[in-house]
Amino acid sequence: MENIERIAKLYPAIMHGMSRIRSIVHEGMDLTYNQYKMLLTISDSDSCSLNQLARQLGIAMSSASEMVDRLVQIGLVTRVIDEENRRQVTIFATQKGIEVILELQRGILDNYRTLLEKLPEVEQERLVQAFEMLAEVLGSLEKQD
């Protein structure tokens, strides 16, 4: 079997497994996964424009705006309008938003730990190495684009 056929055969099973892990990890969150990613992006950058958020998350400006609206409503981010250019809006994570991110990250690590502990140590190491290799390969593909 050629490499491409092997990948095509493995891909659905891997994505299904990753989806299950993601749903377990994010279980009980009051945020959607995309809202979490947006809040994390804002928090990691200290601040972002709406355009930067849409581009980084690969979503339409209208979708980014709706998600920011929701995060503003629940007090996790704030919008600051530039006094000199009112069209320029900068989005910041609030203290509550930063606390939510830290809490979620702790929960995510705990959930990953719980999942990994179900595997023998040798399998844990193989899984971590596979993730490292996948991240490296995907990173090199992105650099080629």
The whole domain housing 52 covers: 1-142
The CATH number of whichever domain residue 97 belongs to comes to 1.10.10.10
Phi, psi of 37 (to 5 degrees): -60, -40
Q: Tell me the pTM.
A: 0.72
What pLDDT, on the 0 to 100 scale, is given for residue 145? 67
Residues 6+ apart with CB under 8 A from 100: 31, 39, 76
**Helix crossing, 50-57 with 33-45: angle to 10°?**
120
* Sequential pLDDT tens for the chain (145 residues): 798 899 899 989 888 877 777 676 666 667 888 888 899 999 999 899 999 999 999 999 999 999 999 999 999 999 998 888 878 889 999 999 999 889 888 877 887 888 889 999 999 999 999 989 989 998 888 777 6
Number of Cβ within a 10 Å radius of residue 91: 23
| Joined tokens for residue 65 | 């705006």
Contacts of 24 (CB under 8 A, 6+ apart): 111, 115
Please state the domain count of the chain: 1
Residue (of 110, 27, 126, 41) closest to 76 by Cα position: 41
